[in-house]
Structure 1
Amino acid sequence: MSNPTLSTMPWWRQLDRYQWFVFVVASLAWLFDCLDQQLFLIARNDAITSLMPPGTGQTDIKLYGGYATSIFVIGWATGGLIFGSLGDQIGRARTLTISVLMYSVCTGLSALSTGWIDFAMFRFLTGLGVGGVFGLAVALVADTVPPSARTAALGTLQALSAVGNVTAAIIGIVIGKMVVAGNISPENSWKVIFLVGSIPALLCVFIQMRLKEPEKWVAARQAGKATGVRFGSYASMLSDPRWRKHSLFGMMLCVAGVIGLWGIGFFSPELVGDVIGNSLRQAGTSESEIAGARSYWISVNMIVQNLGSFSGMLFFTWLTQKIGRRPAFVIGYLAAMLTTIAYFQTFNGVNDIWKSGLMGFCQLGLFALFAIYLPELFPTRLRSTGTSFCYNVGRFLAASGPVTLGYLQWFLVPKDAVADQRIDALRDAASYMSVIFLLGILAVAFLPETKDQPLPEDV
């Protein structure tokens, strides 16, 4: 029986010891998941440069970087579908452990790549594991913590992902300094990044073995066996008009945010690296020093971007509690579009690094809303399935974002382009693509307001 006095307490005081354990473990799983994603962004350009044939041009390297990102995102989407359904069928805790083990091992294996093909294969397998974590983690927390603490707990879980992103940036800075000092060759720096990144998630697996399945899910699963109701079934979800509507428009909602982040926002390292690298090259700096400086400033940019993201996710968690889920989404998508265009059009050097924090505040602030809102759209038997469907199926469409950005740059760059022209092409391509955020505003118009409502069930 729920305690009516809980709702008057701060959310973190409403959790008992085991609920805290669940929250911490779920948050760590997602934190290390995001660390893996960010390490890929830091290492992507150097990895592709190292693995492509000698003499490959920068435009082709960016294009293949887009391919690698799209393959990773496709793996993410596929893993989200598989593990999301398994989470409702066999349990959130067990499936979460499998997902984390997969992405940690395959992150390390990425460092052993000898060519672009096997690198892309390892990124796909890493994506399978990465894709399962979000839906499982938020369903686990949503089904475990008291209802009055759910919104803040889920928003905080998402905000803590920025800690993983910042940790990845710090790793990038340290390795960049080691490259400058000559302790690591520029050709091998990306391999070290992947090897280091695989360790914390692997250690997390041993902690997760103590997780138990939520009592709510256990009770619903037992009742479902008696009544024959289907758990984790996409056919069952999409055949019911209510859950089908939530699934399809929830997917559209996430497509806008995911393309905006992975197809545009997470290409800020390329802009930062190109702008700073170009300025250093014009000043006569050696290529080895440029490589170290690029790595350093890309990592600093990532730290600033994710400090903004952390603040943004906490802000939007607060905002959605005050004004509701739907108005918060509308404000968030408009802000994300405007700040993304402004960033890519006006970033001109290290003095503009702060602008990435503003973009991160708005772009990743939206993802706190996903963590809060998506579990509120589906019943217990479909909570992991539906959340993963919305968050990950859209990634099949979102996977076109990096490739589209690459082709737009290729289309906008003259054959005899100089560095400044390639930078301008990236600016314009990112700005054109930013209209995708308007799709999120359209989708939310067809979805219900769930503020202060209990989690839905079939009856």
Structure 2
Amino acid sequence: MANHTGRRETIAQPDSDLPWWRTVTRYQWFVFAVVSGAWLFDTMDQRLFSLARIPALADLMGLPAGSLEVQAFAKTSTALFLVGWGIGGLTFGALGDRFGRVRLLTISILLYSVCTGLTALCRTPEEFAILRFVTGLGIGGIFGLAVAIIAETMSGAARLAMLAGLQVLSTFGNVGAAFVKMGVDTLGAHGWIDAAHGWRWLFAIGALPALLAILSALRLRESDAWLKLKADGQLPKGVFGSYGELLRQKDERHNLLIGTLLAVAGVVGLWAIGEYAVDLQHAVFTGWFSARLPADQVAAAVASAKNWSFMLQMAGGAIGMWIFSWIAARFGRRPAFVAGFSAALIVTLFVYWRLESPADAYWMMPLMGAAQFSVFAGFSIYLPELFGARTRGTGVSFAYNLGRFAAAIGSFGSAYLTTHLYGGLPAPDPLRFSAMTMCAVFLIGIVTALFAPETRGRALRD
């Protein structure tokens, strides 16, 4: 078959007797490597920000890390980051449908990597906040563009496996950020770098994905489906014309609603509930170690236990996403989402109810990670199947990133429950019961999945 450069390329044809990886061409592997690498470093950047924001602002503001001023500005910076993330997602998907997914992916990678590198050089907290907002724009654009590119480049079982693999690699990005932080801390502890400015090294390392942008610009090409639309003059009209098309067509509106509700349930569940696990662990571990260790050893023991809990949670998340993918391929997308959200509801309630020690966390957190992260594989697999080639980037980006705004609202809701409704309870019960109350969001995912169109075995709507 001829590609848009005029050269002919050999595409391996699906064969039920061959494992999916035997049907993938060299170029398709290259696409997966670059696009999934962009998402891996995207998630690593997110985690690096979480790890470095307090030390960075304390240094820039010249105040202790625990001061109210630093904590308040950290929340402001995080809010700006999330808002930029949401705006970037809602914008770059539509631009990709109009001007090309590869082109906009390249711009997104450059934007978040260059701004992350510039963050290492900032001199004021205001510069820090502005750079994180712009970084969020680039980060928000990656997911919708990445899954649209992979979905339109692969087919059959290979498409499902690689879209699932894209999300599995997000856990590697999170773990990679933790190892980078540990490495920088070790260098600082030995005096090989200035420990007080270790956060600058973290952000400098976050600039490395710019190399992926160069590869993307030089080697990746637009999918045949997008190129055909362009040749036929069928691309969305106007910069944000794809939104008009999504809203005008009844089936597209229905699918947009389904995809958005599923993503909102999953993203709120992870960010407005799952993030509370760290706070609960800190409270539980501090009490547990304080009763067993000298006071000067407690902080280090708590930090180590939290690190192990996080690593195990990410390992569980990767396993959960592969299990979701197997159910989606064997039984269908709808039962996979019902199973995933049901598991998230049951396991999360149990963990917040029963977590009492580090030993509990070491087996509970992998289970919670598997349950909560499982549905994120579904977002990669299912969302691009809901939309046609003309609006795929817009639909996926809108559904996935609207959840970011919902997660911000959910975080405020969680904070209100913790400080007001359950604020009179002894610590850490306010954290426990606010998170358990927020678990009701998983019911939205379960109910929505029951009405979701089944796409298993169907070709993409191109």
Q: Sort the TM-score into its range (normalised by shorter chain).
A: 0.7 to 0.9
Report how far residue 52 of structure 1 moved.
6.7
| SS state at 2:391 partner | helix
Q: Which one of 423, 436, 443 corresponds to residue 448 of structure 2? A: 443
**C-alpha contact 1:99 1:133 (8 A) present in aligned 2:** yes
Identify the range of structure 1 (239-248 vs 43-52) with the bigger mean alpha-carbon deviation: 43-52
Deviations 1:237-275 (A, max 9, x none): 111111111112211110010011112213433333444
Correspondence for 2:227 among 211, 218, 241: 218
- State the 1:450 CA deviation: 0.5
Distance of aligned partners of 1:233 and 1:54 in 2 relative to their CA distance in 1, 3 Å threshold: same
- Paired residue for 1:139, among 148, 151, 154? 148
The offset of 1:236, in angstroms, is 1.6
Determine the C-alpha separation between the residues in 1 that align with 2:313 and 2:181: 14
Q: 1:39 to 1:301 in 2, by over 3 A?
A: farther
In the alignment, the residues of structure 2 paired with residue 20 and residue 72 of structure 1 have an alpha-carbon distance, to the nearest angstrom, of: 32
1:230–1:236: 8 Å Cα contact kept in structure 2? no
Taking structure 1 as the reference length, the TM-score comes to 0.88
Does 312-321 or 292-301 show the bigger shift? 292-301
Tell me which amino acid in the other structure corresponds to 1:298.
Answer: K
Tell me the equivalent position of 1:96. 105
Q: Deviations over 1:108-148 (max 9, x none)?
A: 33344556544333222221111111111110011111334
Please, which of 251, 257, 280 is the counterpart of residue 260 of structure 2?
251
Contact 2:119 2:200 in 1 (8 A): yes
Deviation at 1:179, TM superposition (A): 5.4
Give the one of 264, 271, 292 matched to 1:262.
271
Counterpart of 1:165? 174
Distance verdict in 2 for CA 1:302–1:42, change over 3 Å: farther
2: CA distance, partners of 1:22 / 1:337: 35
Alignment of 1:173-322 (within 5 A): 173-178=182-187, 187-199=196-208, 201-209=209-217, 210-225=219-234, 233-277=242-286, 279=288, 283-286=293-296, 294-322=302-330
Between 219-228 and 147-156, the greater mean CA deviation after superposition = 219-228
53-62 vs 312-321, greater mean Cα deviation = 53-62
Partner residue, 2:351: 343
CA distance in 2, matches of 1:78, 1:228: 21
Q: Which amino acid aligns with 1:34?
A: T
Query: Which of 3, 9, 16 is equivalent to 2:25?
Result: 16
Of stretches 183-192 and 357-366 in structure 1, the one that deviates more from structure 2 is: 183-192
> Mean alpha-carbon deviation: is it higher for 113-122 or for 239-248?
113-122
Segment of structure 1 superposing worse, 125-134 or 5-14: 5-14
User: Which amino acid counterpart does residue 460 of structure 2 have in structure 1?
Assistant: L
CA contact 1:88–1:232 (8 Å) conserved in 2: no
8 Å Cα contact 1:232/1:382 also seen in 2? no
Q: Which stretches in structure 2 are left out of the alignment for 5+ residues?
A: 2-10
Deviation at 1:180, TM superposition (A): 5.3
Shift of 1:316: 0.5
Which digits, 9 at most, give the CA deviation of each residue in 1:38-57, with x for residues without a partner? 22233345456656784786
1:156/1:184 Cα in 2 relative to 1: closer, same or farther (>3 Å)? same
Q: Is the 8 A contact 1:172 1:193 kept in 2?
A: yes
Contact kept in structure 1, 2:14 and 2:156, CA below 8 Å: no
Counterpart Cα distance in 2 of 1:444 and 1:48: 42
Cα distance in 1 for partners of 2:90, 2:159 equals: 24
Assess, with a 3 A threshold, how the Cα gap between structure 1 residues 296 and 48 changes in structure 2: closer, same or farther.
Answer: farther
- Aligned counterparts of 2:288 and 2:370: Cα–Cα separation in 1: 28
Aligned residue for 2:232, secondary structure, equals helix
Shift of 1:432: 1.6
Q: Secondary structure at the match of 1:224?
A: coil
Distance 1:176 1:293 in 2: 16
**Structure 1 residues not aligned, in runs of 5+:** none
Query: TM-score, length-normalised on structure 2?
Result: 0.87
Question: Given the superposition, is the C-alpha separation of residues 426 and 52 from structure 1 closer, same or farther in structure 2, using an over 3 Å criterion?
Answer: farther
Shifted more, 213-222 versus 250-259: the winner is 213-222
Q: CA deviation at 1:344?
A: 2.7
**Which residue among 372, 377, 383 is the counterpart of 1:374?**
383
Aligned partner of 1:78 in structure 2 is: 87
The structural deviation recorded for 1:70 is: 3.5
Alpha carbons of 1:28 and 1:431: their partners in 2 closer, same or farther (altered >3 Å)?
A: same
Secondary structure of 1:233's partner? helix
Change in Cα spacing, 1:273 to 1:51, as seen in structure 2 (3 Å) is farther
Instruction: Report if the CA contact (8 A) 2:422-2:434 is conserved.
Output: no
Give the superposition deviation at 1:220: 1.8
Cα RMSD (Å) of the superposition? Answer: 3.1
Deviates more, 1:166-175 or 1:227-236: 227-236
Higher RCO (CA 8 Å, separation ≥ 6 residues):
1
Equivalent residue, structure 2, for 1:426: 431
Q: Is the 8 A contact 2:109 2:210 kept in 1?
A: yes
Amino acid at match of 2:323: F
Partner of 1:106 in structure 2? 115
Preserved CA contact (<8 Å) 2:423 2:430: no
Stretch deviating more after TM superposition (353-362 or 53-62): 53-62
